[in-house]
Amino acid sequence: MTEPVDPVSRAFLGVERSASGQRWVSRLDQAGQNRALAMAQVHGIPDLISRVLAGRGVGVDEAPAFLDPTIRSLMPEPFTLKDCDKAAARLADAVARREKVAVFGDYDVDGAASSALMARFFRHFGVEAEIYIPDRIFEGYGPNANAIRQLIAGGANLIVTVDCGSTSHEALSAAVEERCDVVVIDHHQMGPQLPPCLALVNPNRNDDLSGQGHLCAAGVVFIVLVATARLLRERGDPRAKTLDLLSWLDIVALATVCDVVPLKGLNRAYVVKGLLAARHMGNAGLAALFRKAGLGGPVTPYHLGFLVGPRINAGGRIGDAALGSRLLTMDEPTEADEIAAKLDELNRERQVMEAAMLAEAEAEVIAEYGTGENAAVLVTARENWHPGIVGLLAARLKEKFKRPAFAIALDSSGRGTGSGRSIPGFDMGKMVRGAVDQGLLVKGGGHAMAAGLTVERTKLGSLRAHFEQVASAVIPDLVANHMLKIDGALAASGATLQLIDQMEQAGPYGSGHSQPVFAMPAHRIVDSRLIGTAHVKATLQAMDGTRLDAIAFRAADTPLGQLLLSSRGSQLHVAGCLGADHWQGSRRVQLRILDAAKAV
């Protein structure tokens, strides 16, 4: 009797190498198919949903709860987080004493959202909290001693750091010297040494056993506020009874999506319930940004991650870093519209700067590495680059060349500030920390998929050589085995709004819970054309004549875009994600193309 062939061992539709250089494989192996079948039979879950869940590691018994995530069922007992009891008690005391509080946040979306949550909480209890967001270029990430002393001189009795502070030993020592209490609420990786503070709530500290290390900072802040509100109720504060924390889940969902943390456990409940809150448009700042971005249809994770997030981040990248937190904190629509307009303007400026920098970076890659195929890691650096945009630049280079990539902005003194983005399977943070140990970097750190560094220009050559040596043992195999996992095959006639609604039941999709990918076998390319300067729009037609609108974003100058543009009238296998496109009050199906291959 012959052994059954595992579907993962075969190329899906026979695609061994696609336009994007990927091998297509089925997401479900035989065990996964069995799990999907059991899920459908035991719980009555539609076959497609069962396949999507099984393909993302959801067990048969877990499926019903996974499809209905609730804050009540997934919220941990707050005091299982180390120091949460101390933090809640100190925040409650600040409310009782009407102390002056300063909130020190990071300049990204998670920092802005965390700061806004904290400020809104204190405002509800009649305590105005000052928000301080450092300047990315002049102050860098996290608390610094000068800013801490400035806040204390301004009368702060309590400083709460959010989305930062876990490794800010020197800055927090300044607060100790001034006899000012500090509560740190964070989620970043840290070593065994704790900063000098009254309480450190960070599920990623070594001695925290809560199992909530997947949360973003805003998610941790929400738990601390739940604990603080409970404590204030127990103390008899009547304002605690009128506090509606659940109405602020739109802010938590925004941070969870934009910080790209895994959509598992409590994070799923945050996003599912946060999207419901966002659709009520109760937050004046978010509503203003949705209007400015031209939101069509109900709010989705896409809108949070690709419409709202970049606009808030634009303030921290090239403008006033505090704009985002101010916007999320305010209730006055007119002022919110003004700030949203400013952020929208900054975002457009950021896009222009990014496009110019990207052209230079790609030219440098070609000059330094040729096609890039023989390089393990790409390191680009220029003097005229804006340090607030290098992270975006590194991401674009990584997407185009399928290699870990760094972009470094050099200042006039010859020192560079850079960011890197990695590909799945390669730990970039570990490589950067190794370069620090080798004395090649002034400082640096990060995690598997992203890192930041500071380097002297004179060390760039040595740094490139070191990165290449470390990565060359791993990257070639990762690139050679680059695969696109396919959830199933569909004809254009099967790509319906009903199908999309079914798939939404298994969402939201994002980090750690990827959006389903479907292959459209042997569809004729009826039409393909450029949209703007970067996107390729196409119309696919199945054998029965059914047509489907499709688009490949930022594909114009890629092999994928070139294949689509040159294949009018020909048949291609096309793979992508289905979504509902809202246009002028109508809702229609659209395929977001990820890859394609010639149908042979």
Instruction: Supply the DSSP string of 74-136, one letter for each residue.
Output: HPPPGGGSTTHHHHHHHHHHHHHHT--EEEEE-SSHHHHHHHHHHHHHHHHTT--EEEE---T
Contact 311, 347 (CB under 8 A): yes
Spatial separation of the C-alpha atoms in residues 147 and 383, rounded to whole Å: 28
- The angle at the Cα of 370, spanning 368 to 373, to the nearest 5 degrees, equals 115
Q: Hey, CA dihedral for 264, 266, 267, 271, is it positive or negative?
A: positive
3-state secondary structure of 590: strand
Distance CA 595, CA 600 (A): 16
The answer to whether 201 and 190 have CB atoms below 8 angstroms apart is no
Classify residue 500 as exposed, middle or buried by CB count within 10 Å of its CB (0-12, 13-18, 19+).
middle
Strand partners, 531: 535
Q: How far apart are the first and last CA of the chain?
A: 32
Reading phi first (left if > 0) and then psi (alpha if -120 to 50, else beta), residue 281 is in: left
Using alpha carbons, select from 364, 398, 404 the residue that is nearest to residue 381: 364
Beta 571-583 vs 518-531: how paired, if at all?
antiparallel
User: In this predicted structure, what is the pLDDT of residue 140?
Assistant: 79
Check residue 537 and give its pLDDT: 97
- Strands lying side by side in the sheet with 199-201: 129-132, 101-105, 158-162, 181-185, 199-201
CA distance 37 to 51: 8
Which helix (H) or strand (E) covers residue 484, if one does? Answer: strand 483-486
Between strands 405-410 and 415-421, the pairing is antiparallel
What domains sit in the chain, N to C, each tagged with a CATH number?
A: 7-25+487-598 (2.40.50.460), 74-285 (3.90.1640.30), 370-480 (3.10.310.30)
Cβ–Cβ < 8 Å for 424, 399: no
The helix or strand, by DSSP H or E, that contains position 175, with its residue range, turns out to be: helix 169-177
The answer for residues whose C-beta is within 8 angstroms of residue 218's C-beta and 6 or more apart is: 110, 113, 114, 117, 162, 163, 251, 252, 254, 255, 256, 259
Query: Which two tokens mark 273?
Result: 């319930």
C-beta of residue 170 within 8 angstroms of C-beta of residue 195: no
Give the whole-angstrom CA distance, residue 517 versus residue 594.
9
- Phi and psi at residue 159, in whole multiples of 5°? -115, 130
Would you write out the chain's pLDDT as a tens digit for each of its 600 residues? 344 445 556 899 999 999 998 999 999 999 999 999 999 999 999 888 899 999 999 999 999 999 999 999 999 999 999 999 999 999 999 999 999 999 999 989 999 999 999 999 999 999 999 999 998 888 878 899 999 999 999 999 999 999 999 989 999 999 999 999 999 999 988 888 999 999 999 999 999 999 999 999 999 999 999 999 999 999 999 999 999 999 999 999 999 999 888 899 999 999 999 999 999 999 999 999 999 988 878 899 989 999 999 999 999 888 888 999 999 999 999 999 999 999 999 999 999 999 999 999 999 999 988 877 889 999 999 998 999 999 999 999 998 888 999 999 999 999 999 999 999 889 998 899 899 999 999 988 877 888 889 999 999 999 999 999 999 999 998 887 789 999 999 999 999 999 998 898 898 998 889 999 999 999 999 999 999 888 999 999 999 999 999 999 999 989 999 999 999 999 999 999 999 887 766 889 999 999 999 997
Distance CA 325, CA 343 (A): 12
> Does residue 201 contact residue 84 with C-beta atoms inside 8 Å?
yes
Q: pTM here?
A: 0.90
**Cα–Cα distance between 246 and 309 in angstroms, integer?**
21
Q: Is 527 helix (H, G, I), strand (E, B) or coil?
A: strand
| Unique residue bearing structure tokens 């960011």 | 419
Tell me the DSSP string of 485-521.
Answer: EE-EE--GGG--HHHHHHHHHT---BTTBPPP-EEEE
Distance (Å, whole) CA 173 – CA 129: 22
Q: How far apart are CA 520 and CA 527, in angstroms?
A: 16
Q: Which helix (H) or strand (E) holds 147?
A: helix 145-153
